[in-house]
Copies of this chain bind each other. A is one copy, B any other.
Amino acid sequence: MDKQESGCEQVLEAALARAADPRCPPQLAGALRHAVFPGGARVRPQLCLAVAAANGDEDRTLARGAAAAIELLHCASLVHDDLPCFDNAAQRRGRPSVHAAYGEQIAVLAGDALIVAAFEALAVAAAASAQPARLGSLLSVVGRGVGAPFGIAAGQAWECEPAVDLSLYHQSKTGALFIAATCAGAAAAGVDPLPWRALGARIGEAYQVADDIQDATADAGELGKPTGCDAALGRPSAVRELGLDGAVRRLRQLLEEGLMSVPDCPGRDGLQVLVRNQARRFLPKGLDRNAA
């Protein structure tokens, strides 16, 4: 499934057309577009759409809105993550980060506006869908993935604490938005989200382990962002805790646990194939065969 097929790009375009419209301050509008296009792998929205499809969701309006909302929240977190007070990253996806291109003020505001645009995208999708009453559960599931106490903001805040439980830290910093993705896919399809938490949690943790491996092994040109940050900043990292081989084993184990947890549903087999294919992309070349 590529970006176009996923159906999420058009909803992202529509959300940005609303937010970065000609009446928006020009630099903010530019920063909003810069943060969202061209995107990364759009892993989370594709996961959301895949879960909705596996549950037989036919009217994809709500699922697309939820997928776009999750990607907007992911982009918002990257913009704030790159700020001078956090990673102070001048590059993201091989281009200047938002604060490097537009300044710190606009970067703070762009992150804020993207969070708001994400929730607005849910409302727009609900209004256009055949199931507007699902908005409440979608909003709760998505909100839980980004705020406090369990979402991205909380995960990032654990970095400011003197002592951190690595698993809890990864669960909130990375896992929470993957959980939001699987649960939102289920909620959009009118299915109980709860049994879908485990898939999101394991994929999210696997993705964070993969990120730690990349940070430790890849070069900056390949990734389009600085590497070696975890060690330099003394941040928690699976590679520091388990060694490189141990981290790759942990990644493989997490993926299998995630796949085993997938609830019975019409598209279970197809979803498992898709997740395995996606997982191959998580690792630097050479390590991918061992993992997925």
**Which A residues form the contact surface with B (CB < 8 A)?**
18-21, 23-29, 32, 76, 80, 83, 85-86, 103-106, 108-113, 115-117, 119-120, 122-124, 126-127, 132-133, 135-136, 139-140, 143-144, 146-151, 153-154, 156-161
Contacts and interface: CB of A to CB of B under 8 A. Distances in A.
Contacts of A127: 136, 140
22 contacts: A19-B147, A19-B149, A25-B160, A27-B161, A80-B109, A80-B112, A83-B108, A85-B104, A103-B160, A105-B156, A105-B160, A112-B112, A112-B147, A113-B154, A115-B116, A116-B147, A117-B147, A120-B140, A123-B139, A123-B140, A133-B133, A139-B139
B135 A23 contact: no
Contacts of A105: 85-86, 156-157, 159-160
Nearest to A141: B123
Number of copies: 2
Contacts of A123: 135-136, 139-140, 143
Given A85-B105, A86-B108, A103-B160, 15 more contacts: A21-B148, A25-B160, A28-B154, A32-B148, A83-B108, A109-B154, A112-B115, A113-B154, A115-B116, A116-B148, A117-B147, A117-B148, A123-B143, A132-B133, A135-B136
